[in-house]
């Protein structure tokens, strides 16, 4: 009896390990390919949905370093930005404004900047904010955030509310 239970358990374990290995390899291969194919498609679907609504939303195009504020399908404000440099890229995807701060201190590995104006965070420490310390808008120079001239950041801060969708694409 003891050996039958052991053999059944061992056979079950082998099947579980084989199944888990197969599942993991399919998930890892499939998800890598699916992400490469589906992320731009998901972003496009999100944009189409937002353009058919009357909702306020923010679109950030990293390829041309532009931010557009939309009300449904109508662009209401467009500006030049500075996104993350190659070593600290801005994340792509669909997000929502999670918190807003008229002024905040931002700290990271190689920076400590006080009084960052009009910061709106959409994913952890990633945010859209004013940048008074550079004038290189149109060029990726940030540590992953989306930098705006302070006057533009103020306009966007006053226009957007918590929960406003933010769509970032390449």
Q: Which of 86, 111, 72, 97 is nearest to 153 (CA)?
A: 97
Q: Which residues contact 121 (CB under 8 A, 6 or more apart)?
A: 97, 98, 99, 100, 101, 127
- Of the candidates 101, 134, 145, 152, the residue annotated as catalytic is 145
The span from the CA of 105 to the CA of 147, in Å, is 14
Q: How far apart are CA 36 and CA 63, in angstroms?
A: 17
Is 152 in the active site? no
Candidates 101, 129, 134, 152; catalytic one: 129
**Are 118 and 156 in contact, with CB atoms under 8 Å apart?**
yes
Partner residues linked to 130 by β-bridges: 148
Whether 129 is a known active-site residue: answer yes
CB distance 82 to 70 below 8 Å: no
The residues that are catalytic are 129, 145
């Amino acid at each position: 009896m003891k050996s039958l239970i052991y053999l059944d358990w061992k056979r079950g374990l082998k099947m579980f390990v084989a199944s888990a290995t197969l599942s993991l390899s399919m998930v890892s291969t499939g998800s890598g390919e699916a992400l490469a194919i589906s992320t731009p498609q998901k972003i496009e679907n999100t944009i189409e949905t937002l353009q058919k609504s009357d909702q306020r939303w923010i679109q950030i195009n990293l390829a041309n370093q532009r931010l557009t504020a939309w009300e449904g399908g109508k662009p209401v404000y467009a500006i030049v930005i500075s996104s993350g440099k190659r070593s600290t890229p801005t994340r792509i995807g669909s997000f929502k404004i999670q918190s807003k701060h008229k002024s905040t201190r931002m700290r990271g590995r190689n920076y400590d900047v006080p009084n960052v104006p009009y910061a709106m965070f959409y994913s952890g420490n990633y945010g859209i904010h004013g940048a008074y310390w550079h004038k290189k808008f149109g060029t990726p120079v940030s540590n992953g955030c989306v930098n705006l001239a302070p006057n533009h950041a103020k306009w966007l801060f006053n226009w957007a509310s918590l929960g406003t969708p933010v769509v970032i694409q390449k």
